């Protein structure tokens, strides 16, 4: 008998039946693999094939066999660029006009990619691809990166079959916090001594491919390898840093001029390209204190070492693809989310996380004394603004701004079996939203019409696939809007209008400049007065796009103000006491920090101490900032790290027995605070200044009970004891939030 919905026949027994096996959907035979190598905060000129002095031989090899695109642009900050890359849609249109960390209550800034906007991974998976991601995600709202958060916008829920990496924006390269395997925190208490994320991401990417090939010999794959290099904190292997010792002693002005000259000689910028005037915030190198210069140069030595290590790993990855015979049919894309940053200030910062507090560098004598620590696991540094300008040569401005230094990043594509004119340069305009439609075009995979049972949103980008084989092919389109942190821009047919704001000040809606990029590659000449009609046209076009794509309302507040935006749900949760137990994974910083950030609080810990017991009772944070209470040699101790402003409270004798130890903290205002320790209700350590107060951002780790996992709060304990597990018994820890600091 024929059964409805079944193409075979079902009888009473097998002899009377006819089986039917529906054809499984898969990618077309010969479909190319896709490998996206994505950098973080890397300037246009940093690969040596774009003009730098940094050793990047494997990127140079990709350029020699593939194409360099010299007018590729991006959204000038991380989360928006990544959302646009993965959806082919303008970032504001997919809720990601700024960092995904906060939600100010407006549709263009929710930090949440709509489920009806299919990702590249979702689309390729539907087209028969294996889909993998390794590295930095940063496209999930802050409220949802915690264990209790909704996971519908985590990588494995957005089309990646496997994920290994971090959900948030930055972490230590040596001690990454909350390293995820798919939806779970990887159960790692202590990393091996030689662990480094750039190496680990590459290892895991190759592991995914090996596992795929052990199961299927020909299923094509997408591997999105999203390095957290070269984002802060600037940390690198000692041997890589040593390689660049002395290379930056001439200073940022000289290195910028050298890169500019090299770019002209290489033919990747027009010979008449001017080098724009240096940002006025950058001191002339000769005017810097000679005593500071070793420190200033060391910052850039570390940065160069980080990119060098990325290139080494790309070399390993290319050799691996060669070894399995798949290099020729692998599309390789290399680029960055945005350009180099100005955030480090004129002299850089040993503890870059301090700026999330609104704090500047340490006193210069202390910064100098820490020079040799720059780049190690103990530092969380960021280079001076002058080196960010070098990275962005020949363009003005930086990450978060809409000048070329923020928008324009280097872009390479390689596909040995299809690109015939290897080493060529493409000058046509391309934007990050064009990447997804191009890759789908090349893979022969159609865009999804429906997703999650609803019509799929259409991509804003257009394919530039013809450019791979035809140097004369037109650009995929002629215009694009830009906005980041109230900085605005609009490009059309070779003309750029841009408006740059001073952060934290009222928005100047009228301060537009105009640039003819067909004659002024580096945006060095303002033609607003000469062509007012063209400027008016582009400003009007920006306004139209801004309304269409949910760019408004503009928000020029300082970072600390923007990241303080929380939903009513988050604020209510943060005002309730919470109980924690040992033998659980690290409590996410997003769960613990709102209870103690710039407010009064108490941390009460019940435990049993025997003679000779010692170890960490609780630890919050890491080397960037935090606190650790521990027992050593019969004494109860507390170390407080306020972004490298450290205090050790007076020790308290701890006899054997059952105890309750309580840290009482009072936030007295202006980021100042004090604390005392009570043992069994009696004051054991008197009120002591513990400043500055901690905030919800800056440190990477959250709360550990009974040990200090991964990134340590106190380096001495890490060197001497490792995670320093407490050998006694801990019953529980109760954190009780109190009044917020005055003002």
pLDDT digits (tens, 9 = 90+) for 395-406: 999 999 999 999
Using left for φ > 0, alpha for ψ between -120 and 50, and beta otherwise, residue 391 falls in: alpha
pLDDT category at 317 given cuts 50, 70, 90 is: very high
CA distance 728 to 614: 7
- C-alpha dihedral (126, 129, 135, 139), degrees to nearest 10: -10
Strand partners of residue 181: 164, 184
Mean pLDDT estimate for the chain: 96
Catalytic residue among 71, 78, 299, 718: 78
Q: For 457-464, what is the mean pLDDT?
A: 98
> Global pTM?
0.97
Residue-by-residue DSSP string for 405-446: HHHB--EEEE-TTT--STTEEE-S-EEGGGHHHHHHHHHT-P
SS3 label, residue 163: strand
Q: What is the pLDDT of residues 617-669, one digit of tens each?
A: 999 999 999 999 999 999 999 999 999 999 999 999 999 999 999 999 999 99
Q: Is the pLDDT of residue 120 over 90?
A: yes
Structural domains of the chain ordered from first start: 35-481 (3.40.720.10), 569-740 (2.60.120.200)
Catalytic status, residue 138: yes
Range scoring the smallest mean pLDDT among 315-319, 440-444, 690-694, 721-725: 690-694
Number of helical (H) and strand (E) elements in the chain, helices listed first: 17, 30
Least confident of 278-282, 308-312, 440-444, 554-558: 554-558
pLDDT band at 1 (very low <50, low <70, confident <90, very high): low
514-520 LR contacts (CB < 8 Å, sep 24+): 514/538, 517/71, 517/491, 518/494, 520/274
User: What are the structure tokens assigned to 696, written together?
Assistant: 């919800």
46 by DSSP, 3-state: which? coil
Q: How many other CB atoms sit within 10 Å of the CB of residue 243? A: 15
Joined together, the tokens standing for residue 507 give 């928005």
Catalytic residue, candidates 75, 138, 260, 659: 138
Tokens of 643: 């972004």
Please tell me the predicted confidence (pLDDT) of residue 500: 98
Taking residues 421-431, what's their average pLDDT?
97
- The percentage of the chain sitting over the pLDDT mark of 70, rounded to a whole number, equals 100
- Quote the tokens at residue 365: 């004598």
Task: Give residue 46's pLDDT.
Answer: 99
Mean pLDDT, residues 53-67 = 98
Cβ neighbours of residue 31 closer than 8 Å, sequence gap 6 or more: 128, 129, 220, 443, 444, 445
How far, CA to CA in Å, does 137 sit from each of 116, 440, 563? Answer: 19, 21, 18
pLDDT score of 79 more than 90 = yes
Question: Which residues have a Cβ under 8 Å from the Cβ of 210 and sit 6 or more positions away?
Answer: none
Residue 78 designated active-site: yes
Rounded average pLDDT over 568-573:
74
pLDDT for 566 beyond 80: no
Mean pLDDT of 372-398: 98
User: Percent of the chain at pLDDT above 90?
Assistant: 93
Indicate the helix (H) or strand (E) that contains 562: helix 559-563
> Sorting pLDDT into bands at 50, 70 and 90, what band is 24?
confident
Q: Among candidates 484, 501, 515, 291, which has minimal Cα distance to 395? A: 515
CB-based burial label for 543 (10 Å; 0-12, 13-18, 19+)? middle
Distant-in-sequence, close-in-space partners of 379: CB < 8 Å, separation ≥ 6:
233, 234, 235, 350, 351, 370, 373
pLDDT of residue 2: 63
């Amino acid at each position: 008998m024929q059964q409805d919905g079944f193409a075979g026949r079902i009888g009473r027994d097998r002899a009377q039946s006819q089986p039917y096996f529906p054809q499984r959907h898969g990618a077309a035979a010969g479909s190319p693999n896709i490998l996206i190598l994505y950098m973080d905060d890397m300037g246009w000129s940093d690969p040596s094939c774009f003009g730098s002095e940094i050793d990047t031989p494997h990127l140079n090899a990709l350029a020699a066999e593939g194409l360099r695109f010299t007018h590729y642009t991006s959204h000038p900050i991380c989360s928006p660029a990544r959302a646009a890359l993965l959806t082919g849609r303008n970032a504001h249109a997919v809720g990601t006009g700024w960092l995904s960390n906060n939600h100010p209550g407006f549709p263009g800034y929710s930090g949440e990619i709509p489920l009806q906007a299919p990702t590249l991974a979702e689309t390729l998976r539907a087209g028969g691809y294996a889909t993998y991601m390794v590295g930095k995600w940063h496209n999930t709202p802050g409220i949802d990166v915690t264990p209790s958060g909704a996971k519908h916008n985590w990588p494995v829920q957005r089309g990646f079959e496997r994920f290994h990496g971090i959900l948030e924006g930055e972490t230590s390269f040596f001690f990454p916090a909350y390293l995820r395997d798919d939806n779970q925190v990887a159960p790692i208490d202590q990393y091996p001594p030689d662990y480094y994320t750039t190496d680990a991401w590459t290892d895991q990417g190759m592991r995914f491919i090996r596992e795929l090939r052990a199961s299927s010999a020909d299923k094509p794959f997408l591997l999105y390898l999203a390095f957290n290099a070269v984002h802060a904190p600037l940390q690198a292997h000692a041997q890589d840093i040593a390689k660049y010792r002395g290379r930056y002693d001439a200073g940022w002005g000289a290195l910028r001029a050298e890169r500019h000259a090299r770019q002209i000689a290489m033919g990747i910028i027009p010979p008449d390209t001017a080098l724009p005037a240096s940002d006025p915030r950058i001191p002339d190198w000769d005017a810097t204190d000679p005593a500071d210069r070793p420190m200033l140069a060391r910052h850039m030595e570390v940065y160069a070492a980080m990119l060098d290590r990325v290139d080494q790993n790309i070399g390993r990855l290319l050799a691996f693809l060669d070894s399995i015979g798949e290099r020729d049919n692998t599309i390789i894309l290399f680029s960055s989310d945005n350009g180099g940053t100005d955030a480090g200030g004129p002299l850089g910062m040993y503890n870059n996380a301090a700026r999330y507090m609104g704090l500047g560098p340490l006193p210069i004598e202390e910064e100098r004394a820490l020079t040799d620590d720059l780049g190690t696991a103990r530092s969380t540094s960021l280079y001076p603004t002058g080196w960010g300008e070098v990275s962005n040569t020949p363009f003005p401005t930086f990450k978060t701004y809409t000048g070329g230094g923020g928008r324009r990043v280097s872009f390479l594509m390689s596909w040995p079996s299809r690109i015939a004119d290897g080493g060529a340069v493409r000058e046509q305009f391309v934007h990050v939203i064009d990447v997804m439609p191009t890759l789908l075009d090349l893979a022969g995979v159609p865009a999804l019409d429906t997703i999650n049972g609803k019509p799929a949103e259409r991509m804003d980008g257009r394919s530039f696939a013809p450019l791979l084989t035809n140097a004369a092919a037109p650009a995929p389109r002629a215009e694009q809007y830009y906005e980041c942190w109230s900085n605005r821009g609009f490009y059309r047919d070779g003309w750029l209008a841009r408006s740059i704001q001073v952060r934290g000040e009222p928005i100047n809606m009228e301060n537009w400049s105009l640039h003819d990029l067909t004659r002024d590659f580096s945006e060095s000449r303002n033609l607003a007065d000469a062509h007012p009609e063209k400027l008016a046209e582009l400003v009007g076009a920006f306004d139209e796009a801004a309304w269409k794509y949910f760019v408004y309302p503009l928000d020029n507040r300082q970072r600390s103000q923007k990241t303080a935006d929380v939903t009513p749900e988050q604020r209510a949760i943060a005002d309730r006491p919470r109980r924690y137990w040992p033998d659980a994974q690290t409590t996410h910083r997003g769960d613990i920090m709102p209870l103690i950030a710039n407010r009064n609080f108490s941390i009460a810990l019940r435990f049993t101490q025997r003679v000779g017991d010692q170890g960490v009772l609780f630890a919050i944070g890491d080397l960037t900032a935090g606190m650790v209470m521990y027992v050593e040699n019969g004494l109860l101790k507390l170390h407080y790290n306020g972004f490298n402003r450290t205090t050790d409270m007076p020790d308290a004798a701890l006899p054997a027995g059952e105890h309750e130890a309580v840290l009482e903290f009072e936030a007295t205002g202006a980021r100042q605070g004090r604390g005392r320790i009570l043992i069994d209700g009696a004051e054991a350590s008197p009120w002591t200044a513990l400043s500055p107060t901690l905030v919800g951002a800056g440190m990477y780790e959250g709360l550990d009970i009974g040990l200090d996992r991964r990134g340590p709060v106190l380096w001495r304990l890490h060197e001497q004891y490792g995670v320093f597990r407490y050998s006694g018994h801990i019953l529980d820890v109760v954190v009780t939030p109190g009044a917020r600091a005055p003002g």
